[in-house]
Structure 1
């Protein structure tokens, strides 16, 4: 698996498609996604700050996944934050998530953060199982129970 930094002009259709699918898997539809242009503007801004945190996973000439990684303040500390862990449907359950996770760990280590968080839909059982398998623990519900915050350590 290779990782390529996202270039909005080059990868626009791919990142929008992957983001929409992630919302369908997590929440059943894309209603919470917002406007496409807002997402792309947000993505472009974040890429300027941490370009290696926004990558597409490529294998055999095909994009199979996407990561969106940032660093945030949480309770006064810098933490890594996974905005998006994504694999295309046909790559799920094949061990590819571990390869994405290895990239995540290396990125956060390079940026000197020792704790990372993410939010996951309580209905996304497969994702929750994966996150627990890689050592993450539930912190608790957020956004009126629409998501669960999870955290892990390097």
Structure 2
């Protein structure tokens, strides 16, 4: 697996499609996705701040996944934040998530953060199981129970 920096002009359809699919898997629909242009504008801004944190995973010449990683403040400390872990449906359950997770941990280590967080839908049992097996713990529910915050350490 190789990681390729996201270029919005080149990868627009891929990143929008992957992000929408992540909403569908997490929440059963894409209602919470919002407007494509808003997402692309946010993505463009974050890529400028964290270029190594926004990558597509590629295998055998095909895009199979996406990572969106940032550094943000949480309760007075800088933490790593996983905005998106994504694998295409045919790549799920084949150990590819471990490669994405290793990339994320290395990104956070390179940016000198020791703790990282993410949010996951409480109905996304497969993802929760993966995060737990990767050493992450539940912090608790957020956004009126629509998501669970999880954290891990480098």
TM-score in terms of structure 2 length: 1.00
Per the TM alignment, residue 98 of structure 1 is displaced from its structure 2 partner at its CA by 0.2
Partner of 2:133 in structure 1?
133
Per the TM alignment, residue 133 of structure 1 is displaced from its structure 2 partner at its CA by 0.3
Q: What is the CA–CA distance in structure 1 between the aligned matches of 2:117 and 2:78, rounded to whole Å?
A: 11
Alignment of 1:70 with 2:77, yes or no, is no
- The superposition leaves residues 70-111 of structure 1 with CA deviations (integer Å, 9 ceiling, x where unpaired) of 000000000000000000000000000000001001100000
Partner of 1:10 in structure 2?
10
Partner of 2:97 in structure 1?
97
TM-score in terms of structure 1 length: 1.00
Alignment of 1:5-154 (within 5 A): 5-154=5-154
Per the TM alignment, residue 148 of structure 1 is displaced from its structure 2 partner at its CA by 0.1
Q: What is the CA–CA distance in structure 1 between the aligned matches of 2:102 and 2:141, rounded to whole Å?
A: 26
Aligned positions, number = 154
Q: What is the CA–CA distance in structure 2 between the aligned matches of 1:94 and 1:53, rounded to whole Å?
A: 23
Q: What is the CA–CA distance in structure 2 between the aligned matches of 1:119 and 1:105, rounded to whole Å?
A: 16
- The superposition leaves residues 17-71 of structure 1 with CA deviations (integer Å, 9 ceiling, x where unpaired) of 0000000000000000110000000000000001000000000000000000000
What is the root-mean-square deviation of aligned Cα atoms in Å? 0.3
Q: What is the CA–CA distance in structure 1 between the aligned matches of 2:95 and 2:41, rounded to whole Å?
A: 32
Q: What is the CA–CA distance in structure 2 between the aligned matches of 1:106 and 1:131, rounded to whole Å?
A: 16
SS at 1:122 equivalent: coil
Q: What is the CA–CA distance in structure 1 between the aligned matches of 2:9 and 2:43, rounded to whole Å?
A: 12
Gaps of 5+ in 1: none
Q: What is the CA–CA distance in structure 2 between the aligned matches of 1:121 and 1:138, rounded to whole Å?
A: 12
